[in-house]
Chain A
Amino acid sequence: MPLLEIKNLHVEIDGKKILNGLDLVVNKGEVQAIMGPNGSGKSTLAHVLAGKAEYEVTEGEVLLEGENVLEMQPDERAAKGVFLAFQYPIEIPGVATMTFLRTALNAQRKKRGEAELTTPEFMKRVREGAAKLSINQDMLRRGVNVGFSGGEKKRNEILQMALLEPRLAVLDETDSGLDIDALKIVADGVNRLRSPERGFVVITHYQRLLDYIVPDIVHVLSKGRIVKTGGKELAHELEASGYAQFQEAAVAAE
């Protein structure tokens, strides 16, 4: 059974059609990249998978190992192992990063019927995870993402992913706003989490990220559907030729 199966997904927001019959199958152990121009529906796909309420699914199915995800609340999806690394991680003043991480981790464990982590065990995991991502103790004490640079916010997303150990990780433009050093730290963080039990959907506009997180499959999304699928070399092709050809192809197919 595939880890993620999206069948004929149609999504609207405020009456505007964004996804128009998207199909996608991701198996455990795979990293699949979704590339596409601005406005092609990449971020919509990411948010629909995580369960953002404003997006209305008008048709289609999203199955996580056979289970219908669309009927679940965002927190239920998270507990089932869906993780979205946000393109714009939000600042939450007054909620310390530590408190947030602990609340999230324990809420998921509770939902899965697992025991809450003891304080020392939790602290150990956070410290280890943070060190690998060059996140210092001061950042952990601050409000979630408050005063973090763009790169620090993205690293914090990866730290959350490492602690929450999802089955399916969706990375929404994780490379945006990162310089090359930050990009490497983030990519290394993602690569450490690659495992035969876990699948990734890496959404990006640019091929650059895919030099560091090397995908198994690359898809091109245009006008709300996948218009081309290939190997990792497709990303380089796109870098050279741009998206214009696919936008025309998508228009022609309508």
Chain B
Amino acid sequence: MAELTLMKNAAEQQLAAEWQAAKGKLPGAAPMRAAAFERFSAVGLPHRRIEEWKYTDLRALMRDAKPLAIPPDAAAKARAKDAGALLADIDSRRLVFVDGAFAPELSDLAKLETGLTIRPMAQALAQNDALAGRHLGKVFATDDVAVALNTAFMGDGIVIHVAAGAAIERPIHLVFAATGDTPGALFTRSLVVVEKGARVMLVESHEGAAGRDYQVNTALELAVADNAHVDHIKITREGEKALHISSLMADVGAHARFNTFLFTTGGAVTRNQLFLRFAGEETLASIRGATLLKGKQHADTTMVVNHASVGGRSREVFKSVLDDQSRGIFQGKIIVEPGAQKTDAKMGSHTLMLSEEAEADNKPELEIYADDVQCGHGATAGDLDEDLLFYLRARGIPQAEAEALLVQAFVGEAIEGIEHAGLREALSEEVAAWLKAR
């Protein structure tokens, strides 16, 4: 294998230097970190010859690796005060992270519901938290290099435990804001453990200042026990220069419900990875997303959905709207393990091209090792329908408005699947705002 090892590029060298400098100071989990960095060291940044990263050649896209972000000062925290405002109308428990560090003074830890436990990840790691010890890095086994880098450098984040049977009505909003003055790399890691029959809704929003050059590598591990119900929504609106890599790893138990929605409009380069395993029987999952890109934005959604038990049902619907010279990528793999009979999985990825210079890459894959299953996928890419536009314009609706109506309808099909009405509305408004700014 040695002859295949590539020369380390600048970003890889900087990451190695950063590791040497930081490894003694990072909170806890030293052996785990070291093993993870070893993994990165062995293979380097993922590039186009790694199948899962075929369309997002990180080695080429990452010219350099930013130094670890410095802890936020008062000014940075002040700038983060309005972060997550997109969801201002929704009553939620806000937990705010500024430049990757938990900011208790901006967060709401008052009157925790019975059964809900929250602690910052940095503290959990430093104090060998038992819950973190049981689950961290174990929710979904993957040797993905972005996840390895996150494990090596993870700084702060949140550890949430929802006790068996607890129904947490108020959504928990994890607000990640990049506001510092110096370019930096933010490695946040969170763990959410939802015990049997419990219910919780998690919203993550990621945003940062336009014009600021920063890199985010964030990961969330989600352990969902039998009969639990978890709604997860991730909103990515990073600044225009940002590189954002996100990994969601979930293990979902029997008779559980799991809904996730990925909404992406921001960032220069965004990579959303999902590693989902339906370990128990009769799970019901909805995995959806909407991506709206313009300029030279690049966004990649790469997903592995592993049906490991009998009778699981999953629906995957991703919608992309690509304007200008943007590039949208969807890779979806559904694996049905031997014995996972009666699995019912349907995946659709649909792209609306608003510009002839935009590019869409769609790669659906099915790997089925059971014989009594229903699985299907569909992928489409096309322009706005001229006949629809003409019909609208013949009624007096100007071109731009007619296009906006059709784009909203297209994206709306995915957004309608969100159960929370307030979030549905907030995201629809965000789509409208995006269209208005076109």
Residues of A near any B CB (own CB < 8 A): 50-53, 73-75, 77-79, 83-84, 86, 89-90, 92-95, 99-100, 103-105, 107-108, 111, 143, 160, 164
Nearest Cβ on chain A to B293's Cβ, whole angstroms? 20
Given A92-B406, A94-B410, are A111 and B387 also a contact pair (CB < 8 Å)?
Answer: no
30 chain-A/chain-B pairs, Cβ below 8 angstroms: A52-B390, A53-B386, A53-B390, A73-B399, A74-B393, A75-B393, A75-B396, A75-B397, A78-B393, A78-B394, A78-B395, A78-B396, A79-B396, A83-B394, A86-B391, A90-B388, A92-B409, A93-B409, A93-B413, A94-B409, A94-B410, A94-B412, A94-B413, A95-B406, A95-B408, A103-B397, A107-B397, A107-B401, A108-B395, A164-B396
Chain B residue contacts of A93, Cβ below 8 A: 409, 413
Cβ–Cβ contact B394 & A84, under 8 A: yes
A75–B402 CA distance with the chains assembled, in angstroms: 10
Given A52-B390, A73-B393, are A100 and B399 also a contact pair (CB < 8 Å)?
Answer: no
Chain A residue contacts of B410, Cβ below 8 A: 94
Counting from the closest, the 7 A-B pairs by CB-CB distance are A94-B409, A78-B396, A108-B396, A104-B395, A74-B393, A75-B393, A90-B391
Most buried by A among B388, B390, B408, B413: B390
Nearest Cβ on chain B to A79's Cβ, whole angstroms? 5
A164–B397 CA distance with the chains assembled, in angstroms: 12
Cβ–Cβ contact B405 & A107, under 8 A: no
A101 nearest in chain B by CB position? B395
A82 nearest in chain B by CB position? B394
Given A94-B410, A103-B397, A164-B396, are A74 and B405 also a contact pair (CB < 8 Å)?
Answer: no
CB of B382 closer than 8 Å to a CB of A: no
CB of B398 closer than 8 Å to a CB of A: yes
Chain B residue contacts of A103, Cβ below 8 A: 397, 401, 405
Chain B residue contacts of A79, Cβ below 8 A: 396
Chain B residue contacts of A105, Cβ below 8 A: 396
Our pick among B387, B396, B399 for the contact of A90 (Cβ within 8 Å) is B387
Chain B residue contacts of A94, Cβ below 8 A: 408-410, 412-413
A164–B405 CA distance with the chains assembled, in angstroms: 19
Our pick among A53, A99, A100 for the contact of B395 (Cβ within 8 Å) is A100
A164–B253 CA distance with the chains assembled, in angstroms: 55
Chain B residue contacts of A100, Cβ below 8 A: 392, 395, 405
B410 nearest in chain A by CB position? A94
Nearest Cβ on chain B to A59's Cβ, whole angstroms? 23
Most buried by B among A53, A73, A78, A111: A78
